Amino acid sequence: METRFNMITLFVENLTKMVNFYQKTLGLEIDWNGEGPYAEFKHEGIRFAMYERSKLPELLGRELGYPKGLNGSFELVINVGAKENVDAFFERITRREATSIYAPRNEPWKLRSAMVADPEGNLIEIASDFWN
């Protein structure tokens, strides 16, 4: 049996606010009726969902801790293809609700990237394809 990740779920404080950010600011599609505690986006490849933190203790039978401020535990990466697309995507989403962490730059490993944070401090890298 091959081990392969199938889904990423963010445990969020404010499900409505986070769904709105990922839908309206980042452009992810979702059919969600506004009822919690779970929302799953339409996403090709790995599934992407959110679940309300307030419901986790009941689900898991224990209390949990969460990071405050910027979450340095992980990052989500959005590949936007050509390196020119990084700048345009970054500008579009930082004019909305995304918080700039660093502006677009060329990386020594031959891709262009920028980083933002969502409303709850999760890091999102905007990256191009690699170039030669």
Q: What is the DSSP string of 98-130?
A: PEEEEEEEE-TTS-EEEEEE-TT-EEEEEEPPP
The helix (H) or strand (E) run that includes residue 85 is: helix 83-94
pLDDT of residue 60: 95
Whether the Cβ atoms of residue 40 and residue 49 lie closer than 8 Å to each other: yes
Domains 7-60 and 71-127 share a fold: yes
Domain locations in the chain as residue ranges: 7-60, 71-127
Rounded to whole angstroms, the Cα distance separating 51 from 65 reads 15
Per-residue pLDDT tens, the chain, 132 aa: give them: 999 999 999 999 999 999 999 999 999 999 999 998 999 999 999 999 999 999 999 999 999 999 999 999 999 999 999 999 999 999 999 999 999 999 999 999 999 999 999 999 999 999 999 987
Joined tokens for residue 13? 């404080």
- State the CATH class of domain 7-60: alpha beta
- Looking at domain 71-127, does it have CATH number 3.20.20.220? no
